[in-house]
């Protein structure tokens, strides 16, 4: 079944959009999955992403000739 679904877009260096996180939090509140909001710094901590990128370097596509979509 996994091959029937498209892969969601992800930043190759692990970054996450704070705006998207806040939108998701608002949806959870509206739909009563959670009862209160959290401040942005509690929702998302990018220190680990920054440390990993610092050690590993920026993402580089190894096979630039590949025609496959997503991260397959």
Express each pLDDT in 12-69 by its tens digit.
888 888 898 899 999 999 999 999 999 999 988 889 888 998 999 888 878 888 777 6
Asked if residue 6 has pLDDT above 80, the reply is: no
pTM (predicted TM-score):
0.61
pLDDT value of position 2? 65
Return the pLDDT at 72.
47
pLDDT of residue 5 exceeding 80: no
**All structural domains of the chain with their residue ranges:** 14-56
Q: Is the dihedral of CA 28, 31, 34, 38 positive or negative?
A: positive
């Amino acid at each position: 079944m996994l091959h029937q679904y498209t892969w969601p877009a992800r930043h190759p260096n692990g970054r996450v959009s704070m705006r998207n996180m806040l939108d998701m939090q608002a949806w959870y509140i509206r739909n009563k999955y959670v009862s209160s909001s959290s401040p942005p710094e509690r929702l998302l901590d990018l220190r680990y992403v920054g440390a990993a990128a610092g050690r590993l370097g920026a993402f580089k596509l190894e096979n630039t000739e590949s025609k496959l979509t997503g991260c397959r």
